[in-house]
Amino acid sequence: MPTNILALDIAGNPFDWIPPQEAVLYYAMGKVAWELGERELLFRGGFSRSGVQSRILVKPIIAVAGSEIMARMLRKELPLGHRNHLLFKRDRYTCAYCGDCLTHRELSRDHILPQSRGGRDTWMNCVTACLRCNQDKGDKLVHHFRPLLYVPYVPCRAEHYLLSGRNVLADQHDYLSARLPKHSRLL
């Protein structure tokens, strides 16, 4: 699986995982303000008249200058949606009711305020639950069931990108980890 590039705004705030090909475009347009990381990915472009092929070296972390990037960053929300893998990672694959630590297949999403009562798919209304606890809880409210062993929270941007990244390189992991709040369960 190809490694994605961690794109930052010029202040160093992460705003997206982008495919390397998109990073190449930013390099070609001269929009990479600064870059970080040990590894380099080499991309080859077209040939000049003298027969020299262009080469672009892409670093794993790049800061991209440009107002359109800022606009995109502001538009980009970090919702939970239906992505259970993000929820389970946030909760360290641990059932919020019995504390069992399980695999993805043995876990489910529990709505603290049940969907039948208007509960929504938000970070604050969802916790990880094992299948048995989820079934036992059913449509009950949490105070009619069992106390939560941990509280839900909305991941900050750095956490969100750690949760959503695939094949995260050590450089990228270190960069994001350094920006996690103290309460983060990803530390």
**CB of 18 or CB of 98, closer to Zn ion:** 98
Decide whether 133 or 176 has the Cβ nearer to Zn ion: 133
Positions touching Zn ion (CB under 5 A) are 95, 97-98, 130, 133
Closest CA relative to residue 36, chosen from 66, 12, 65, 72: 12
Q: Which C-beta is closer to Zn ion: that of 58 or that of 95?
A: 95
Nearest distance in Å: CB 144, Zn ion: 16
Q: How far is the CB of 135 from Zn ion (least distance, A)?
A: 10
Distance CA 13, CA 62 (A): 11
Q: Cβ of residue 149: shortest distance to Zn ion, in angstroms?
A: 9
State which H helix or E strand residue 134 sits in.
helix 131-137
Which residues fall within 8 angstroms of residue 110, CB to CB, at 6 or more apart? 96, 97, 126, 127, 128, 129, 133, 134, 137
